[in-house]
A = this chain, B = another copy of it.
Amino acid sequence: MPLFNKAAIVGVGLIGGSIALELKKKRLCREVVGVTRHKETLAQAKRSGIIDRGSLDLDIIRDADLVVLAASVGTILEVAEKLAPLVKKDCIVTDVGSTKQAIVKRLTKMFPGYIGSHPLAGSEKRGVYHARYGMFAGSLCILTPTKETRSGATAKIRKMWHAFGARVVSLPASRHDTILSLVSHLPHAVAFSLISSVPAEFLPFAAGGLKDTTRLAASDATLWVDIFLSNRKNVLSAIGLLQGNLEKIKTAIRKQDRVALAKILKQAKKKRDTLT
């Protein structure tokens, strides 16, 4: 028996589109409908069979027993306000936002069946054209239940992500935001700053190292403005930590302190070698 009857994806982009594909191909629901603000996205999502039906109008989500808010962090709250009157009381609602504290606080109040999700999958690319089946296989998905979260909602959403091939862990939203500020938001801030530091005329001399280290700077700028601002304090602390570590390397280089510099680099390499 399918987990859901009618699943509604609000925001059919890279992540929303990939979720729709999983729900359909794994027969986790009887029907997948999609809502998007862009005609072209809608046409592409229908053409490629990512959704069964779609609309530019939120009204299509009526009667859904699963709503996935896959809009960007900056628009989730606004979309949620518009959805609230249309969502059934027993509907399970989740989002896939990259920051959780503010979103979880608001959405828990708005939807009785809400639980936050954050699949650590995707890439610097965006849009329904990059959606693909298998996106979540082997990835990690963080759920952010609160005291008010219905256990039924947690259980069903956990089953859904498991069915997609993801490992699932539950964390308080505040813990999620602290961890993500270091493992995701900081690398993005670094990539944007690093590419900004390299004069354009030197780019023809870039080898694989600079390319890998700055790949995240190809991410959507508006999306990252919203993520940085919605996790402001944590991101500021994380950047501060990095600045401190850069300063330590600078000091060792300036003093030509071979021992101190070797110690920093060896400890860093040792830690990086655990990350496979």
Contact = CB atoms under 8 A, between A and B. Distances in A.
Interface of A: 120-121, 123, 139-140, 142, 179-180, 182-184, 186-200, 202-222, 224-225, 228-229, 232, 235-236, 238-250, 253-254, 256, 258, 261-262, 264-269, 271-275
A190 B246 CA distance: 7
A196 B228 contact: no
A60 to B, nearest CB: 31
Contacts of A239: 246, 249-250
Q: Which of A200, A204, A253, A268 has the most CB of B within 10 A?
A: A268
Contacts of A188: 209
6 contacts: A187-B194, A194-B242, A197-B242, A217-B269, A218-B269, A218-B273
Given A179-B202, A197-B238, 11 more contacts: A182-B197, A182-B198, A190-B190, A192-B268, A195-B268, A197-B245, A214-B275, A218-B269, A219-B269, A222-B262, A224-B265
Q: What's the dominant secondary structure at chain A's contact region?
A: helix
Contact of A193 (B218, B228, B242): B242
Q: Which of A195, A219, A262 has the most CB of B within 10 A?
A: A195
B205 A180 contact: yes
A224 B189 CA distance: 24
A88 to B, nearest CB: 33
Contacts of A197: 182, 186, 238, 241-242, 244-245
Contacts of A210: 183-184, 187, 275
A208 B246 contact: no
